[in-house]
Amino acid sequence: MAVRDNNSRVRARNGASGKTVEPPAGAESPWVLLRSASLHPFVYQKMVRRADAAARPGDVVAVYDKAGRFFGRGLYNPRSQIIVRMLTHDEVPVDAAFWRGRLERAVALRRTLRLDEVTDAYRLVHAEGDGLSGLIAERFADHLVFEVFALGMYQRREELAGLLGEVLGPPGCLDRPDKASPQWQVAMRADARIEGIEGFHVPDHGAVAGRATRVTIREHGVRYRVDFIGGHKTGFFCDQRDNRRRLAALCREAAVLDLCCYTGGFSLCAKQLGGAREVTGVDLDEKAIAIARENANLNQVRADFVYADAFTFIRQMLANGRQFDVVVLDPPKLATYRVEIDEGLRKYHDFNQLAVQMVRPGGVLLTCSCTGLVGRDVFRETVQRAGQRAGRALQLFDESGAAGDHPVMMNCPESAYLKALWFRVL
């Protein structure tokens, strides 16, 4: 890595001016000099004073604080509002050994959690939670599915996939001992809009090495089909694993309504593990409902999956005087950017105001938010107001979040995105 001496002058990016400026003393090129700094892994455009003209989108850059002191290294992308995604604050090279070390650390946590004893589907890399901002990796049986949000991660996708496969070793075969593949199949999904990823155009923004784009996985004895190219995110929501099992324990002989059910995770756990009397799942995604019905057949259970808008469905049920013993409300993310938070909170309020009316007195409401920009306290207050507006008293008896394979680093609290509130409705 090149090192600039104190007397060298380079043309650096300084907003739109392009003026010739001094680099930080002894700076390694490519470099970024900050105007302000925090330990959060995101460095936004407004926090950067100037950047080395040699820095290219996707490069690992040396980052210096406003006094010119070494601050760390991260992935650079001037096209993104997050201009640098910090990887480390140590003076170590970001090379193959670095990537392998981070992946080994991530895999070690999952092995400590003994996830293989209950499932062959779990998150292996949780972006900032594992010190790898912009990268999500999940295991689905003998497939590795990558979802990338950073150009630098996308550029290194083949290296990272190869390293993760080496760290994991041969694929496990919990569900299909007669069909275990000698190698991991690898699927890739990327968000080209945010980071300006170019030259990546395939159906559904997905690509897969190998033939299959769908696989069958097992979780707590329930089997699910996962479409990791055409589905939402990586095709299955591993984050709700513990909550699905927890809900099942409350469903014995209950009538259960699963709103925004996607491919039927809560519905099938309620029926197969919980012994629910009847289960109804509702979602506006027609493909997801089709897979939910496949999953019911796969597990040989009876469940009613309805392709409908949840708001419309609830209003029809209320008009008919229908209520349920257990109601799950798990909508998709309702705010991606800060300017959308107020609108997202209005939607959460309206959703919960209707959902709480679907619960029989003394019944259970599990309501969830996967919007990282909405904090737990704000979400709780929003649901409380919704209950009051509906004329129902809510008794909170538990709060939970994502399963342990979605760890949270304390310098990035919003990565604790999933909030699950458990109420008895009076």
pLDDT more than 70, % of the chain: 85
Is residue 320 very low, low, confident or very high in pLDDT (cuts 50, 70, 90)? very high
Instruction: Return the CATH architecture of domain 96-216.
Output: 2-Layer Sandwich (3.30)
pLDDT, mean over the chain: 87
Determine the Cα–Cα distance for residues 369 and 341; give it in Å rounded to an integer: 12
Contact call for residues 352 and 329 (beta carbons, < 8 A): yes
Determine the Cα–Cα distance for residues 387 and 383; give it in Å rounded to an integer: 6
Are the folds of 96-216 and 237-425 the same?
Answer: no
Residue 81 exposure: Cα atoms within 13 Å on the Cβ side? 4
Determine the Cα–Cα distance for residues 417 and 306; give it in Å rounded to an integer: 28
Per-residue pLDDT tens over the stretch 166-177 = 999 876 433 333
The H or E element spanning position 112 is helix 96-112
The encoded tokens of residue 399 equal 């709060």
Residue 59 is predicted with a pLDDT of 97
Q: 3-state class of 387 per DSSP?
A: helix
Residue 22 has pLDDT above 80, yes or no: no
Is residue 12 very low, low, confident or very high in pLDDT (cuts 50, 70, 90)? low
Residue 107 is predicted with a pLDDT of 97
Residue 330 has pLDDT above 80, yes or no: yes
Determine the Cα–Cα distance for residues 234 and 243; give it in Å rounded to an integer: 19
Which residues are catalytically annotated?
370
Residue 58: partners with Cβ closer than 8 Å, 6 or more residues away: 75, 76, 77, 151, 152, 154, 155
- The length of the chain in residues reads 426
Is the C-alpha dihedral spanning 401, 41, 195, 156 positive or negative? negative
Residue 90 is predicted with a pLDDT of 95
CATH number of 237-425: 3.40.50.150
Query: Following DSSP, what letter does each residue of 160-207 receive, concatenated?
Result: HHHHHHHHH-SPP-SS-TTS--SS-EEEEEE-HHHHT--S---GGGEE
**What is the rounded average pLDDT of the residues 388-408?**
97
CATH class (in words) of the domain with range 10-88? mainly beta
Contact call for residues 36 and 66 (beta carbons, < 8 A): yes
Determine the Cα–Cα distance for residues 115 and 242; give it in Å rounded to an integer: 11
Residue 64 is predicted with a pLDDT of 97
For residue 3, list its beta bridge partners. 28
- Comparison of pLDDT for 149 and 181, the residue scoring more: 149
Residue 192 is predicted with a pLDDT of 55
Contact call for residues 387 and 395 (beta carbons, < 8 A): no
Per-residue pLDDT tens over the stretch 49-61 = 999 999 999 999 9
Q: Domain segments of the chain: what residues?
A: 10-88, 96-216, 237-425
Residue 186 is predicted with a pLDDT of 63
Determine the Cα–Cα distance for residues 158 and 160; give it in Å rounded to an integer: 5
